[in-house]
Amino acid sequence: MRIKIEQKWMEKLRLIPESGMGYQKVDITLKEGTEIKDVFIYNGEELDLPEKYSSIKIIEIVKIILHKKDE
């Protein structure tokens, strides 16, 4: 499920490198503390969430960071 992210996140994502052509692989944190790891944001504006998170509203996101490769 793809949802458009808020402008403040778009601006932040412009400052971090792409993981591949046209996308960033990120980890997001929600207000209640849930972390969703290893998700994609396309073109710096569309978050592709797994279906099990389809009820999440974009305003619930409090943190987006670039996903670090597992070591």
Q: Using one digit for the tens of pLDDT, what is the confidence trace for 1-32?
A: 899 999 999 999 999 999 999 999 999 999 99
SS (H, E, C) 11-64: HHHHCCCCCECCEEEEEEEECCCCEEEEEEEECCCEEECCHHHCCCCHHHEEEE
**How many Cβ atoms are within 10 Å of 28's Cβ, its own excluded?**
23
Taking phi first (over 0 means left), then psi (-120 to 50 degrees means alpha), and beta for anything else, what does residue 44 get? left
Give me the residue spans of the domains in the chain.
2-66
**Cβ neighbours of residue 71 closer than 8 Å, sequence gap 6 or more:** none
Task: Give residue-wise pLDDT tens across range 26-62.
Answer: 999 999 999 999 999 999 999 999 999 989 999 999 9
pTM, to two decimals: 0.87
